[in-house]
Structure 1
Amino acid sequence: MKTKTLFYRLLLIGSFWLMLGCGPVIVTSRPTSPPPPWFYPNRMELVRYVYFPELTIYYDLHSSMYVYLEGGVWIRRKVLPPRYRTYNLSRSRYVRVRDYRGDQIDQYHQERNDRGRSNLERKRTRT
């Protein structure tokens, strides 16, 4: 009988000791990180990407990553490379990409990369 009570006491003390090593568990339904300060300070919209046409940079709001072209390859990073650090994104013009929510923003960019060159496909005729 004494061994059973001793066993239960040790088990109880051991379980308390194990619980001390556990940190708090936080469960939330909010996004893990808020949008950057340059994007919608007062409201949220249902867009996934924001495009900066002067810099040819996309920002993925879903994964909080910048997507930019470097050496012909699209790169995803949490921070911009040093060549973009002189730009103030709060004051830069940006376009909300409302019609695309997929993961392959490079294909979206190639399909819609007319950016002022829409007359290249038309042949000019003399009249």
Structure 2
Amino acid sequence: MKTLKLLIAGFGLFVASSLQAQVSVNVSIGSRPDWGPVGYTEANYYYLPDIEAYYDVRASNFIYISNGNWIRGRYLPARYRNYDLYNGYKVVLTDYHGARPYAHFNTHRVKYYRGNRPHTVVVRDVHHYHDNHKHYKKHKAKKHHRHHHDD
């Protein structure tokens, strides 16, 4: 009877430690890297124009081109060993939710070119941006028109 109680207690400890290990592993999956822009929890990908690569936030890996093929890897290749991820230009892609952000590489490459040093750019739903932009133009035109009549 004493042996049975010890076995049950041992099994209980084993199960408890396994559950604790699962929780700690799940917490780290898909979290923003230390060098990633703060405050963009909805982002699945970052585009890194200076090295023409992507970072998959959920999978915690880089996507870069090598010999004409897109490669996924936990680390950047050796040719980027001196690239500073903390201070490099990053574009937060919040409007793409598929598995291949590089399908839009030609667009990203032109729009967010190498050596451009603005602050981190956030790409949101394009339709929403244009709607707000039209509203801004209309509002600005009304203000200008009103000012013109005052003269």
Return the TM-score normalized by structure 2. Answer: 0.59
Tell me how far 1:99 sits from its aligned partner. Answer: 1.6
Name the structure 2 match of 1:50: 46
1:25 has 2:22 as partner: no
Q: Alignment partner of 1:68: what SS?
A: strand
Name the structure 2 match of 1:11: 4
**Alignment of structure 1 residues 1-127 onto 2, 5 Å:** 8-22=1-15, 23-26=17-20, 27=23, 30-32=27-29, 34-41=31-38, 43-110=39-106, 112=107, 115=110
Change in CA separation of 1:48 and 1:25 when aligned onto 2, cut-off 3 Å:
same
Instruction: Give RMSD over aligned pairs.
Output: 2.5
Counterpart code for 1:25: L
Percent pairwise identity: 26
Counterpart code for 1:18: F
Tell me how far 1:54 sits from its aligned partner. Answer: 1.8
Change in CA separation of 1:44 and 1:114 when aligned onto 2, cut-off 3 Å:
closer
- In structure 2, runs of 5+ residues without a counterpart are 112-151
Counterpart code for 1:115: V
- In structure 1, runs of 5+ residues without a counterpart are 1-7, 117-127
Q: Alignment partner of 2:110: what SS?
A: coil
CA distance in 1 between counterparts of 2:32 and 2:45 reads: 11
Change in CA separation of 1:57 and 1:33 when aligned onto 2, cut-off 3 Å:
same
Name the structure 2 match of 1:124: none
Tell me how far 1:9 sits from its aligned partner. Answer: 3.5
More helix by share: 2
Which one has the largest radius of gyration? 1
> Which shows bigger deviation, 11-20 or 24-33?
24-33
Return the TM-score normalized by structure 1. Answer: 0.68
